[in-house]
């Protein structure tokens, strides 16, 4: 930031930086650097590792992250980010439980996995590795403006994505008011193992004698008939300083996407009046989606020491999904080098208008879109966590965060003709997970 104190108060700036991960109190005197030392250390590195674990042997993930930022001075910054995701475990495939064991195959009919009687069917052959790279450059435009642009790329064994973004912000009212706008585009290619199945087509039976939980094409990734999708995101925002210790932020975002939205590995059960599955069909989603979201945030610096952050987000789309998110943080700096940060988040969403827990016999011929993906169902969830951070004498810092997530589903999308038969099964998309994150920041 230029030495014009655009936001008018050092405490407020410290509070804002603190919520981005920096310390909100001065570093020890021994950690202060001369101007020459500061010029010599223009690279700042943020490293982190997220470990995510769902209950019941479901999805497990490890995500190392490395971000490098070069500060050229005069509000010019260049950054690079590398993310590696490794996922294993079991994921719900969309089918309902049954009173007898069930066997499922992939889109090509090769590879199979089973679900025991009465259990929610989980695809325990689920595994993936994702590599994501991004680069971003920010520079001043005129006296009060900033412009930034970036490129992103992401690769999985059956998915490829590339995108670009640009954004501009402008300060008014002696730096106490900031207007911003951003635009991004992402192009995705989905190459499902065995090829993308025909929507609502019958799932093929397992090939006799094949090895369970083994997919011959998985290492190669993808198959014939790759599908594509394009996503455009627009965001406009306003940040307003209220007083020397508080500010508010408001954003509106619009996201439009067109192309292939269906998950090629999700199925639906076609059931009879007794709730038992007769067959399985692949899901089908609309080929376009438009989302609108509004976001509001309030930040306050308290007791010349702490930071309080409260935000709310509301989203609605033309799939009839509506969601609300309330997120709160409180950073307590109990001395000059240590802090703790409790975190509480609440989320609720309604189901998509084509969400079906199951289809009744023959219904698959009368609908054009249907999905039993739990992520499109109605549910609520909360996250509670605690973070601890420490700044060392060198000025480098580290932190650790432990969080717990609990999701509770709502029973929806049950066909009336099979409601009594399905009542003996648990259909709601319930979930619990533990997340542990460690991070280390240093200059070089």
Q: Which residue has the tokens 């083994």?
A: 214
Nearest to 380, CA basis, from 425, 328, 324, 321: 324
Contact criterion met (CB below 8 Å) for 171 and 71: no
How confident is the model at residue 108, as a pLDDT?
61
Contact criterion met (CB below 8 Å) for 81 and 67: yes
pLDDT tens for 391-401 read 999 999 999 99
pLDDT tens for 332-368 read 999 999 999 999 999 999 999 999 999 999 999 999 9
How confident is the model at residue 429, as a pLDDT?
73
Tell me which H or E stretch contains 297: strand 288-302
How confident is the model at residue 225, as a pLDDT?
65
Q: Which residue has the tokens 């992402």?
A: 186
Residue by residue, DSSP assigns 145-198 as: EEEEEEEEEEEETTEEEEEEEEEEEEEEGGGTEEEEEEEEEEEEEE--TT-PPP
Rounded distance between C-alpha atoms, residue 44 and residue 66, angstroms: 11
Rounded distance between C-alpha atoms, residue 421 and residue 423, angstroms: 6
Contact criterion met (CB below 8 Å) for 257 and 285: no
How confident is the model at residue 194, as a pLDDT?
80
Instruction: Tell me which residues of the chain have a pLDDT lower than 50.
Output: 1-34, 36, 39, 208-223
Question: Hey, what domains does the chain have and what are their CATH numbers?
Answer: 10-443 (2.40.160)
Rounded distance between C-alpha atoms, residue 222 and residue 180, angstroms: 39
How confident is the model at residue 223, as a pLDDT?
41
Rounded distance between C-alpha atoms, residue 199 and residue 84, angstroms: 31
Nearest to 96, CA basis, from 421, 353, 335: 421
DSSP collapsed to 3 states, 202-248 = ECCCCCCCCCCCCCCCCCCCCCCCCEEEEEEEEEEEEEEEEECCEEE
Nearest to 391, CA basis, from 355, 356, 348, 339: 339
Q: What are the φ/ψ torsions at residue 238 (nearest 5 degrees)?
A: -135, 130
How confident is the model at residue 195, as a pLDDT?
86
Contacts of 438 (CB under 8 A, 6+ apart): 48, 49, 398, 399, 400, 401
């Amino acid at each position: 930031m230029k030495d014009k104190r655009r936001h008018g108060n050092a405490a407020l700036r410290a509070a804002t930086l603190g919520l981005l991960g920096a310390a909100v109190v001065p570093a020890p005197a021994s950690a202060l650097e001369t101007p020459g030392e500061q010029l010599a250390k223009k690279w700042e590195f943020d490293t982190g590792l997220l470990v995510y674990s769902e209950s019941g042997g479901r999805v497990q993930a490890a995500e190392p992250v490395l971000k490098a930022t070069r500060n050229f001075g005069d509000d010019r910054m260049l950054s690079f980010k590398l993310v590696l995701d490794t996922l294993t475990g079991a994921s719900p495939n969309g089918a309902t439980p049954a009173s007898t064991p069930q066997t499922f195959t992939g889109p090509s009919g090769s590879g199979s996995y089973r679900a025991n009687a009465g259990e929610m069917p989980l695809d325990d052959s689920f595994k993936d590795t994702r590599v994501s790279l991004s680069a971003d450059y920010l520079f001043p435009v005129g006296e009060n403006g900033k412009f930034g642009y970036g490129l992103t790329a992401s690769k999985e064994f059956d998915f490829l994505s590339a995108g670009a973004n640009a954004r501009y912000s402008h300060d008014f009212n002696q730096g106490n008011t900031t207007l911003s706008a951003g635009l991004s585009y992402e192009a995705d290619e989905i190459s499902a193992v065995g090829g993308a199945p025909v929507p609502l087509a019958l799932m093929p039976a397992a090939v006799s004698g094949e090895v369970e939980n083994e997919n011959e094409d998985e290492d190669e990734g993808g198959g014939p008939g790759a599908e594509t999708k394009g996503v455009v995101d627009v965001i406009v925002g306003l940040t307003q300083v209220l007083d020397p210790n508080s500010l508010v932020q408001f954003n509106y975002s619009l996201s439009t996407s067109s192309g292939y939205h269906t998950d090629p590995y999700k199925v639906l059960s076609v059931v009879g009046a007794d709730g038992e599955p007769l067959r399985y069909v692949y899901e089908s989603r609309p080929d376009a989606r438009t989302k609108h979201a509004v976001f509001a945030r309030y930040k306050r610096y308290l007791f010349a020491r702490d930071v309080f952050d409260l935000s709310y987000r509301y989203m609605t789309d033309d799939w009839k999904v509506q969601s609300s998110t309330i997120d709160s943080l409180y950073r307590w700096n109990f001395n000059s080098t240590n802090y703790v940060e409790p975190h509480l988040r609440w989320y609720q969403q309604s189901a998509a208008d084509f969400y079906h827990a199951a289809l009744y016999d023959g219904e698959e011929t009368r609908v054009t879109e249907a999905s039993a993906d739990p992520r499109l169902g109605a549910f609520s969830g909360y996250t509670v966590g605690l973070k601890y951070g420490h700044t060392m004498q060198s000025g480098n810092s580290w932190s650790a965060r432990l969080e717990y997530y609990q999701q509770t589903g709502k029973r929806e999308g049950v066909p009336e003709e099979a409601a009594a038969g399905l009542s003996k099964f648990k259909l709601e998309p319930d979930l619990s997970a533990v997340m542990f994150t460690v991070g280390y920041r240093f200059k070089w």
